[in-house]
Amino acid sequence: MHQVSIQPGTGADNHADVLRLANTGSGPVSGLLSKYGMTLTLVADGQEIPGSFWGDEEAGLIGNELLARPDTPLHSILHETCHYVCMDPQRRIALDTNAGGDYDEENAVCYLQILLADLVEGLGRQRMFDDMDRWGYTFRLGSARAWFEGDATDARDYLLKRGLIDGADQPTFRLRES
């Protein structure tokens, strides 16, 4: 099983038509984040997003606060949410902008964000696959879907071992404890 590489905005369609917070509104995202003890803070159009590691329209993380603008891609919001969920408590306490983590955690983050996509009305797993590919996530098997379905056993095991999903691939809405 191999690492996922992410280089935001480097896909063939750099400014591709990915779903953004404005497409779903903040309600569904806020509801999902609250299940993890997180809050969504909206940033005004054109303003810099505090806590954004990648800059531009990418979501930011400071503590348990996820920051986003209406133009923030939903995949970015879910990706940063999943970093918060998957990181150990010591990193979570000190979290400001850089979620850090190793390759195994990054893979788990990508796997969980795909699962969570099914819980956001108007998004769903297939659209998440498409948006990840459009944005520049790269996978050894060539696409997010091929990776998820054929090469992500290690990512799934990571989440299971830490109680972040159950045996049916359903999120438990718990945070990593150690």
pLDDT tens profile 118-148: 999 999 999 999 999 999 998 989 999 999 9
What's the token pair of residue 174?
């718990």
Mean pLDDT of the chain: 93
Indicate the number of domains in the chain.
1
Alpha-carbon span 58 to 151, nearest angstrom: 27
Q: How far is CA 91 from the centre of its chain?
A: 17
Residue 166 lies inside a defined structural domain of this protein? no
10's CB contacts (< 8 A; 6+ apart) are: 135, 136
**Would residue 170 count as lying in a domain?**
no
Which residues of the chain carry a pLDDT beneath 50?
1-2, 9-14
The structure tokens 């990915």 sit at 18
176 within some domain:
no
Q: Classify strands 65-68 and 39-42 as parallel, antiparallel or unpaired.
A: parallel
Q: Containing domain of residue 144, as a range?
A: 5-12+20-161
Residue 93 resides in a domain: yes
